[in-house]
Amino acid sequence: FTHLFLIEEKKKESRRGNHFVMFHSSFVDARNIVKQAWFVGSVVFFFQHKNRDNSSSSECISFLALVEVMKEHTVSEYDKNIPVVKMNKSKKQQLLENPNCTLIDPKYAVISINDIVRQVGLVQSITSSVYHSVISPYFVFNNNLAETAGNIVNL
């Protein structure tokens, strides 16, 4: 990961072309029920992983993505069909806002590309630079997403 951050710093790019994706992840809740939640993240890079089974000579290839997961996932106050995410602040921005604060590192996840539901775009909120509404080309969010909004602790 160190090499990745050096490349980001050199290129002044923290994301792969602002390539945001919505993906699903399963988790077990407090009552031992398997649930599925949606998350949004920015793709850092794609890669493949070869997993060789020791008992046989077969090889399983998985196509994966490293994503920086948004800090918060929720829905709009006025419409539960509109997903809203809170982006992570850069370390520089955190220090400018509060020089004595404890820096909060972004959260990363390795996901299968099969878990990616769709590519999405983000529309910045008028009230805050870190909140964004999620949009998707050729797709309308038409069901209540509040119940399935992901929590970062469930990844």
* 2-27: pLDDT as tens digits: 444 444 444 444 545 568 999 999 99
Cα distances (Å, whole numbers) of residue 132 to 36, 76, 121, 127: 22, 10, 9, 10
pTM for the predicted model, two decimal places: 0.81
pLDDT digits (tens, 9 = 90+) for 28-69: 988 999 999 999 999 998 999 988 777 767 788 899 999 999
E strand or H helix at 118: strand 116-124
Question: Could you tell me whether strands 131-135 and 116-124 are parallel, antiparallel, or unpaired per DSSP bridges?
Answer: antiparallel
Edge-to-edge strand list for the sheet holding 72-75: 72-75, 83-86, 131-135, 116-124, 20-28, 34-52, 59-69, 107-112
Query: What is the signed CA dihedral for 15, 18, 21, 22, rounded to 10 degrees?
Result: 100
120 class by beta-carbon count within 10 Å (0-12 exposed, 13-18 middle, 19+ buried): buried
